[in-house]
Amino acid sequence: MPPDALSAQIKRHAEQLGFQHCGICPAVTPTGTAKLDQWLSAGYAGQMHYLADRRPAYDHPRHVLDGVQSLVMLAMHYSSGPHDVLPGQGRVSRYAHGTDDYHNLIRDRLHQLADHLRELAPMATTRGIVDTAPLLEREFAQRAGLGWVGKNTLLLSKSTGSYFFLAALLTDQQLAYDQSHETDHCGTCTACLDACPTDAFPKPYVLDATRCISYLTIELQDHIPLELRPGMGNWLFGCDVCQEVCPWNKHAPPTAEESFAPCEEMNPIDLAALFDLNEQHFRKRFRHTPLWRSHRRGLLRNAAIVLGNQRHNSALPALSKGLQDEEPLVRAAAAWALGELSLPESHQLLEQRNRIEDDAQVKNEIAVALQGS
């Protein structure tokens, strides 16, 4: 089958599988590796050491699929509306409002698309990826005509904004390639940069992940820096601020996937209930959702900080449980949050815990909290 006809068939089937955008580009050496090196050297990756560990693999898509000739770049909408958050509740990023982990759903669709390609070209070799392989997805998506990389470092589309997942199907087949999207439509707008609660953008088009709320609540395995905690506000998992203020997202279409549709239990989340979950119960509730990535200790750490930011007296029982948790990470965050409540009861709880606490970091958090409580 000629490349033009084969490409048209791939795009038609991708649409049938629920991908709203599909473009094709050649497998070439990306130009963005120099920026990646600068970004890594600046320390902006934080604890995401896997990026530096596999840095050489980003030099060419052949390190993802040997013999690759073409990349089919795909996008699937996940947008749902924002929800009001009451005291005692935490916000979850829109991409995680559904019942399933997007990796599983999109990976299954990629398998189906690969099967269809092999029906048309039986000798084809393929590999589908969903943000887990060393590939500069946004650059190749721009090469495939899907959009441009905005000042908030996300891929933007004039027609659908940025609320979509990116995926790629790599193949050794020669396909017909789309025109690269060369125009930047951000103009003089700095809404995303100005709205970031933690000043995570040192300059346009550069993200310091170590200050990003999404990184802090998901990737960071350690204590959240003291100066960044207030900026987290109500965010329990992820953050959408730089997308919510983007003008191109004013008319972002809602998701068509039932698995991505908002689930009442996923946003907003009752924070006190999280402190009643042991490891087994946490696994049962979150194992097949994006929130599993934070693990129990990380999510409870986040929950404590959100409760501290809200400074609502009703948080006292939950934070009391957090102060007795088996995880030092959770106890430390709960200690800070109790200090933010500034209640006589929280002061007593901190003093009681201080007498038996054996973790240095937790004792330091308690000492700071007692000074302010």
Query: How many C-alpha atoms does 351 have within 13 Å on its Cβ side?
Result: 9
- Alpha-carbon Rg for the chain, nearest whole angstrom, is 23
Percent helix, strand, coil in the chain, to 5, is 50, 10, 40
Q: Give the burial class of 123: count Cβ atoms within 10 A of its Cβ; 0-12 exposed, 13-18 middle, 19 or more buried.
A: exposed
Give the residue from 117, 237, 109 showing the smallest Cα distance to 165: 109
Taking each helix axis from N to C end, the angle separating 328-341 and 295-310, rounded to the nearest 10 degrees, works out to 10
DSSP secondary structure string for all residues of 54-114? TGGGGG-GGGTSTT--EEEEEEEE---------TTEEEE-GGG-SSS-HHHHHHHHHHHHH
Give the residue from 181, 183, 169, 147 showing the smallest Cα distance to 74: 169
Residue 71, both tokens: 């990349």
Any catalytic annotation for residue 84?
A: no
Q: Indicate the length of the chain as a whole number.
A: 373
Report phi then psi at 76, rounded to 5.
Answer: -130, 125
**Which residue in the list 37, 115, 131, 194 is annotated as catalytic?**
131
- Helix (H), strand (E) at residue 128: strand 126-129
Q: Give the burial class of 32: count Cβ atoms within 10 A of its Cβ; 0-12 exposed, 13-18 middle, 19 or more buried.
A: middle
- Cite the active site residues: 131
